[in-house]
Amino acid sequence: MTASHQNIAAGQDLCRATIIRRITARIVDAPTTRKHKLSNTSVSHQSYVFVSVELENGVTGFGEGSTLGGPRWAEESVEAMKANIEVYLAPALIGQSACLTEAVSLYMDRAAKRNYTAKSAIDMALLDALGKTLNVPAHVLLGGAVRNAFDAIWALASGDAVQEVEEALEMIRRGWFQRFKIKLGFADPQTDLSRLAALQTALPAGTTLVADVNQAWSEAECTRYLPVLRDLGVSLIEQPIAAGQTAASARIAARSDVPVMMDESVSTLAEAAREITAATGSVLSLKLCKHGGAHNLKRVAGIAAAQGVQLYGGCLLESSIGAAGHLHTFATLPRLEWGTEQFGPKILIEDLVTEGLRYEDFQVHLPDGPGLGVSPNPEVIDKYARKD
């Protein structure tokens, strides 16, 4: 047998070995160390869909989909994700080869429209299983890492300025975070701005501050208050107006002296093309749960980079499982100008893995090892898993 025939045979063996045998989904409600407020909800625990994918070779991969306060951040809830995985997505994938990642993505798209978080959880578990099968980190399957550490951003979202100052200073003292995103929009603008001013005064000079308005302001409020954010030293303003208001968003971005970041307005490739062409922001927040998986995230990032839009690694309070999936994907992007806010593991009372991600020197580090490089902790997952 020639070398080329041997390679073909090896590829066929891999496809057979990685046939998807079983997909399971569980809901996990993990308590957080404090309340996390957004403009339209407040959570004291983070809910995940924990996905397991078992291959014909006996290897099991794990993934995670997260949401905030049910279908308030986006249309998916953990209950809907679990049901759609079990009833529609899993049956479409059983018997297919996990190594044919593009085909698997097409099968999921045929089985269910949108449902991006559910799809991204399965995609993450497949990357984990394939990496374990081939004994390589997940990033190798996505093109290989160009960085193994990321500048880390912590979100301040309790609404209590005194508590938030103490929290931020503790993060600096521990060497975990020195860049902070302040959640706005759950109070009136004047109250929010007073809270932000207190933080700006108390934190060390030069601290990077990102203001996330969470779609809470109108165009008129943006005209009035974005200059105040500039004067308070904010470096970046995230999604100040509701997604879908493209023309208004473009006017806001054009008037702002501070870069505006698109988040909820961009999930699909078509949305990326539309919003970037309309110039509704000069920075884009990337999340696996928005884009439906690692490959689509990279495609959205490519559309943005092609038009000079800078990239920011977003999060949705993932545990170390979901955070690792994001880091392996972010590691392969040629540019990631704003680092990442993958702080979720540090806000959980108990992480869902045996050994969490490493936060040192104000960076979060790419995990080593095959697949995602993290191992779920079955005791913790069973402890917080929702009982059927």
Q: Hey, which residues are catalytic here?
A: 183, 341
User: Which one, of 202, 210, 209, lies nearest residue 165 by Cα?
Assistant: 202
| Of 10, 18, 24, 157, residue with least CA distance to 91 | 24
Q: Are 61 and 129 in contact (CB under 8 A)?
A: yes
**Distance between CA 158 and CA 215 in Å, rounded?**
18
The answer to whether the CB of 50 falls within 8 A of the CB of 352 is yes
b/e code 179-208 from CB counts within 10 Å (16+ = b)? bbbbbbbbeebeebbebbeebbeebeeebb
Tokens 């949401």 correspond to what residue?
A: 67
Residue identified by tokens 């550490």 is 149
Yes or no: say if 236 and 338 are a contact pair by the CB < 8 Å rule: yes
- What strand order describes the sheet that includes 363-365? 149-151, 363-365, 358-360
Half-sphere exposure of 313 (CA within 13 A, CB side): 33
Amino acid type, 334? P
Whole-angstrom distance, CA of residue 349 vs CA of residue 319:
11
